[in-house]
Amino acid sequence: MNQNDWSFQDDEAFNMALSQRTDELYRVPNLTPDEDGVIEALVLPLRDMVIFPHMVTPVFLARDASVRVTQEAHARNRTVIGLTQRDPEVEEPGPQDFLSIGVEIAVGRLLSMPDGSSSALVQGRRRVEILEFTRLEPVIKARARVIFESTTADRQTQALMRSVLDSFYRCIQLDHSIPEEAHLFALNIGEPGWLSDMITTAVSLNLEERQTLLLMTEPSERLKRINKLLAEEVDVLELEDEIHSRVQSEVDRSQREFYLREQMKAIQTELGEGDIWTRDIKELRQKAETIKLPEEAKATVTKEIERLNQMPPMAPEVGIIRTYIDWILDLPWSNLSEDNLDVRHAARLLERDHYGLKKAKERTLEYIAVRSLKPKKERQPILCFVGPPGTGKTSLGHSIAEALGRKFVRVSLGGIRDEAEIRGHRRTYIGALPGRVIQTMRRAGMANPLFMLDEIDKLGSDFRGDPSSALLEVLDPEQNHAFSDHYLELAFDLSKVMFVTTANTLGTIPPALLDRLEVIEFPGYIEEEKLIIANRFLIPRQLEENGVDGIQLRFAPQALERIIREYTYEAGVRNLEREIGRICRKVARWKAEGKHYPTTISSRLIEKFLGPPQFFLTEAERSDEVGVATGLAWTENGGEIMFVEVAVLEGKGNLQITGQVGDVMQESAQAGLSYLKSRAAVFGIDTEIFERLDIHMHLPEGAIPKDGPSAGITMATAIISAFTGRPLYKDVAMTGEITLRGRVLPVGGVREKVMAAHRANMKVVIIPERNLKDLVEIPKSVRTDMKIVTVKHMDEVLDIALHTEPVGEPPRPRRRQDEQTQEEE
Ligand code: ADP
C-alpha cells in the first residue's frame, strides 16, 4: 500500500469502510506524559513506511507481534508508538534497528482482508523521541519524550509557508495523482510543522526522504527541506509534462494523418479507385525493387515495408516508419553523373565566369587534370576557399561543378553546435530527421555532387557534442565510404562526393580539421579589379535579372567608382552587385511606368538612385591632427582602417582606454606608454608630467570588439603625438606590435590590411620589416600606388608618421599652488 494514499483512496468501497472507522480512531486519547514529558507505550514496528502526525492511513500487519500490539492497543483504547525501521529488510528488528524519532499513533480495529492478511487504520498524533526500550519480548515497549512543536509561525516561516504552498499548488496542477482538495486542505493549515508533514504525505517521496523529514523536529527546518524538494519535484514534473505534450502532439498528428487517409480511402472507394493503403504499399515495394540499393539498405527497407504492411493504417508508428522508408528510397545511393575531365573545357568555363582568382583557378584545373590521368585515384585533397564575403568562393564552386558536370549543393555550417545537426537524431527521438549531410545528399539526388560546406570557421561546439569530429568523419576518405547517420542507421557512401569547404578566416577552424584541408586564399579585390568584374559580370547579370537587358543601359566608369568608394566598403563585390541591382530595378520600374529613363548611369545620377553616400572617404576631409593615428585592422570582412585617438587631460597619470578593447590590446597600449616614458628625454618631455596627466585613448566604432597586439605602434604613435604636440600625417597608416624597448614585431593579415589602406586612399603604409615576405601577395598596382615602408623600430615609425614641429603648445600641467609660490620665492 502506498502511503501516499492516506485518506484519499481510489477505491471507493474501501474508502467507505475506512471512513466508518475513523471516528473510532479520533476518540482514542493521547497518553498523558509524566512531569518530565515522558510517555511509555507499546511500539508498532513499521517496515517500509513512515507515519506522520495528523496522517490517517491503513497499516498492513504482516508480523504476529504487530497484530498483538494492535489488538491490545485497540482493546485498551490506548495509543502506541509507531517506529520505522532504518532498513526495511530486517525481519526481527532490535532496538538498534529503529529511527530515534517515532510518532505516537492511535490504532483502530483490526481488519481482515480477503486474502487472509490483516490491516488496521491508524492516525499519527505527535513526534516522540525514543529514550529507551523497556521491553523487547513478546512485544516491544519503549519510553519516549513527547516533542512539542511551536504552532505559530514567525514572519520568515510564514513566507516559507507561502512559498511551499505555491510550489505544492504547481505540483498538484502537474501531477494528477494528487487530488485538488489537497491544496485547499493545505491552505487551511496554519501550523508550519503540520503543513510540512501534510505535504510530505501528499507528494511522492521515497522512504529515505520521508525518514529524513520525520527526523527533523524543527518545523521551519522541515519546511525548508520540503520547499527544496517541492521545487525539484516541480522541475521534474514540468519536464515530464513537456515530454508528454510533445508525444501527444506527435500522436495527434498521426491520428490526423490517419483520419485524412481514411477519408481519402473512402473517397477513392467511392470513385472506384481501390484501397489506397494497399496501393501505397505496392508502390513502395515496387520502388524498392527498381532502384539500386546497397544490400543492407535493401534488407532494411524491405523489412520496414513488410512491417508497415502488417500494421493497421491507424497505428501511431505508421507515419514514422513511412518517413523512414521514404528517406531510404529517396537517397541517391548509386546515381552517379559522369565526370567531364576535359581540362581545356574546364579552363574555358572558369575563365568565362570569373575574372582574376588565378591561384584558385589553377588549383582547380590541376585537380581535374589529376582526376583525368588517374581516374581511380580516390584520395583527393579537400579544398578550402578562404576569404572575405563576396570574393567569389561560392560562385567558383558553382563553376567547378559545372565544368565537371556534377550537381552543386551547399550547406552552411555556421552556428552549428550540436553534433546531431550533422549526424542526425536517432529515430527514437520525436520528430527525428537525418543530419544536414544526408539531407543535402537527398537534395543533390546524385551520389557524387560537388558538396560545398560553407562557414566551417563558424562551427561551434558545446555539451551536445563536437560537430567538428563528425565533420572530420564526413571528409575522411578512410571513413566516409560508410558514413553513419544516427537516423538512417545505414552506412552511406560519401566517397564519391567532391567536398569543397569555405571560410572567412583560418583562425577559428579546429586544427584537426584544418590539417585535412588544402587552403586556397581569396584575397579580395582592388578597385580596378572590381571595375572589371562589375562591367563584365555584375552589370550584365543584373540587367538580365531585372529585365532591362533590352535597353542599352551603361554605367559610366566614374559612376561605378563612386558606388565602390562611397556606397560599399568591402573586400569582395557582393554589395557592389547589390547596389547595381538596385539601380537596374529603379530603371526597370521607370521604364514599366512609361517614364523617361536614362540610358547612361552617370556619376551625378548615383545619389539620385542610391541616396546619400554611406561611406565618406574620411581622410579627404581630415587634416593632419595631433593625437589621431591611423591603424589597420584585420576582420572577417577583410582589412579595415581604424583610428586611435588620444587626448591628454589633467589628472594623476592614469591610462584609460575606451571602445571595446580586449586585454591584449590594453596591454599593448601600456607597452606603448612605457616606451614613451623610457624615451621621454629624447622627445623633450619632462617625466614629471606623467604623474599629473591622464591619458584617454579611444578607438571609435565602439560597438565592434577589438583585440590583438597589432595596433601597438599605432597606439604608441598617437600617445607620442599627443604628448609632443607633433601632428600625424593623415595619409599614413600603420600596423605592428611594439615591445617595451620600441622594437616593431610582425603581425598577421598584412595583405588584407594593405589592401584596406589602398581602398582608403592612404599614401604611405608602415609595416614591420619581418612582414616583408607578405608583400609578394599584394597586387603590383597597389604597390606602385602607395609607398609601403618596412620598419624595425618605433623611431623609424615616428620619423615617417609625425610632423617634425609641434603645432601650438604641447600639453603641460598647471603647477600646483605651493610649487608655484616656492618658485616665485
Ligand atoms: P562568397 O562565396 O565568397 O561570399 P560569392 O561567390 O557569393 O562570394 O560572390 C558574390 C558575387 O560576386 C557573385 O555574384 C559572384 O559571381 C561575384 N564575383 C565574385 N568574384 C568574382 C570574380 N572574380 N569574377 C566574377 N564574378 C565574381
E strand spans, 62-147: 80-84, 101-112, 118-135, 141-146
Find, among 759, 754, 752, 787, the residue nearest to 617 by Cα: 759
Residue type, 438: I
CB 301 within 8 A of CB 289: no
Segment 192-198 shows an average pLDDT of 92
Q: What is the pLDDT of residue 702?
A: 57
- Residue 393 C-alpha to ligand 1 middle, in angstroms? 6
3-state secondary structure 481-512: HHEECCCCCCEECCCCCEEEEEECCCCCCCHH
- Residue 467 C-alpha to ligand 1 middle, in angstroms? 28
Residue type, 592: A
Task: Tell me which of 468 and 406 has the higher pLDDT.
Answer: 406
Q: Left if phi > 0, otherwise alpha if psi is -120 to 50, otherwise beta: which for 476?
A: beta
C-alpha cell at 291: 532502384
Q: Which of 350, 386, 395 to mutate to test the pocket of ligand 1 (most atoms within 8 A of CB)?
A: 395
Cell numbers 537517397 correspond to 331
Instruction: Say if residue 549's pLDDT is above 80.
Output: no
Distance set, CA 206 to CA 57, 167, 203, 307, 739 (Å): 17, 18, 10, 42, 66
Which residue has a Cα nearest atom 10 of ligand 1? 390
Handedness of CA 650, 652, 655, 659 (dihedral sign): negative
User: What are the tens digits of pLDDT across the range 380-402?
Assistant: 778 999 988 899 999 999 999 99
DSSP per-residue string spanning 595-622: ----SEE-GGGHHHHH-S-S---HHHH-
Q: Compute, in degrees rounded to 10, the torsion defined by CA atoms 643, 648, 652, 657.
A: -10
Find, among 557, 559, 556, 566, the residue nearest to 621 by Cα: 566
- Of the pLDDT bands very low, low, confident and very high (cuts 50, 70, 90), residue 253 is confident
- Of the pLDDT bands very low, low, confident and very high (cuts 50, 70, 90), residue 554 is confident
Return d(Cα 320, Cα 359) in angstroms, integer: 49
Task: Tell me which of 11 and 558 has the higher pLDDT.
Answer: 558
Return d(Cα 603, Cα 271) in angstroms, integer: 68
- Of the pLDDT bands very low, low, confident and very high (cuts 50, 70, 90), residue 429 is confident
DSSP 381: P
Q: What is the pLDDT of residue 222?
A: 92
Nearest ligand 1 atom to the CA of 396 is: 6
Instruction: Say if residue 720's pLDDT is above 90.
Output: yes
User: What are the tens digits of pLDDT across the range 65-82?
Assistant: 899 999 999 889 999 999
For the entire predicted model, the pTM comes to: 0.58
Q: What is the pLDDT of residue 131?
A: 93
Return d(Cα 728, Cα 623) in angstroms, integer: 9
Strands 483-484 and 118-135: unpaired
Active-site residue, from 407, 530, 730, 753: 753
C-alpha cell at 368: 581535374
Instruction: Say if residue 377's pLDDT is above 60.
Output: no
- Residue 456 C-alpha to ligand 1 middle, in angstroms? 18
Q: What is the pLDDT of residue 825?
A: 37
Helix, strand, coil abundance in the chain, percent, nearest 5: 45, 20, 35
Q: Which residues line ligand 1 (CB under 6 A)?
A: 354-357, 389-395, 533, 537, 572-574, 577
- Residue 415 C-alpha to ligand 1 middle, in angstroms? 23
DSSP per-residue string spanning 664-703: HHHHHHHHHHHHHHHTTTTTT--TTHHHHEEEEEE-S-TT
3-state secondary structure 134-180: EECCCCCEEEEEECCCCCCCCHHHHHHHHHHHHHHHHHHHHCCCCCC
CB 761 within 8 A of CB 722: no
CB 45 within 8 A of CB 93: yes
Return d(Cα 435, Cα 427) in angstroms, integer: 12
Name the average pLDDT for the chain: 85
Active-site residue, from 167, 710, 721, 730: 710
Q: Compute, in degrees rounded to 10, the torsion defined by CA atoms 696, 700, 705, 709.
A: -60
Instruction: Say if residue 332's pLDDT is above 90.
Output: yes
Neighbours of 333 (CB within 10 A): 18
* 273-287, 449-463, 492-506: least confidently modelled range: 273-287
- Of all helices (H) and strands (E), which one includes residue 766? strand 764-768
Residue type, 175: D
Instruction: Say if residue 97's pLDDT is above 70.
Output: yes
Handedness of CA 519, 520, 524, 526 (dihedral sign): positive
- Residue 704 C-alpha to ligand 1 middle, in angstroms? 26
Segment 455-482 shows an average pLDDT of 82
User: What are the tens digits of pLDDT across the range 760-771?
Assistant: 889 999 999 999
Which residue has a Cα nearest atom 19 of ligand 1? 392
Segment 150-165 shows an average pLDDT of 89
Return d(Cα 257, Cα 261) in angstroms, integer: 6
Whether 358 sits among the annotated catalytic residues: the reply is no
Instruction: Say if residue 818's pLDDT is above 50.
Output: no
Q: Which range in 299-303, 542-546, 816-820 is most confidently predicted, on average pLDDT? A: 299-303
C-alpha cell at 728: 600625424
Handedness of CA 417, 423, 429, 430 (dihedral sign): positive
Find, among 383, 392, 391, 354, the residue nearest to 453 by Cα: 383
Nearest ligand 1 atom to the CA of 454 is: 2
Segment 647-669 shows an average pLDDT of 87
Instruction: Say if residue 3's pLDDT is above 50.
Output: no
Nearest ligand 1 atom to the CA of 388 is: 3
Residue 121, C-beta contacts closer than 8 angstroms, at least 6 positions apart: 18, 21, 22, 25, 56, 57, 58, 59, 107, 108, 109, 111
Q: Which of 573, 575, 637 to mutate to test the pocket of ligand 1 (most atoms within 8 A of CB)?
A: 573
Q: What is the pLDDT of residue 6?
A: 38
CB 757 within 8 A of CB 765: yes
Q: What is the pLDDT of residue 793?
A: 94
Q: What is the pLDDT of residue 273?
A: 56
Maximal C-alpha separation, the chain: 121
User: What are the tens digits of pLDDT across the range 569-617?
Assistant: 788 899 999 999 999 988 888 888 888 888 888 888 888 888 877 765 5
Q: What is the pLDDT of residue 819?
A: 45
Return d(Cα 626, Cα 80) in angstroms, integer: 95
- Of the pLDDT bands very low, low, confident and very high (cuts 50, 70, 90), residue 274 is low
Which residue has a Cα nearest atom 20 of ligand 1? 392
Whether 753 sits among the annotated catalytic residues: the reply is yes
Nearest ligand 1 atom to the CA of 395 is: 6
Strands 38-46 and 141-146: antiparallel
- Residue 396 C-alpha to ligand 1 middle, in angstroms? 7
Which residue has a Cα nearest atom 8 of ligand 1? 390
- Residue 381 C-alpha to ligand 1 middle, in angstroms? 23
Geometric angle at alpha carbon 223, from 220 and 228, rounded to 5°:
135
* Percent of residues, the chain, with pLDDT higher than 70: 91
Q: Compute, in degrees rounded to 10, the torsion defined by CA atoms 543, 545, 546, 550.
A: 50
CB 105 within 8 A of CB 123: yes
C-alpha cell at 672: 606603448
Instruction: Say if residue 627's pLDDT is above 70.
Output: yes
Geometric angle at alpha carbon 627, from 798 and 693, rounded to 5°:
110
* Percent of residues, the chain, with pLDDT higher than 90: 36
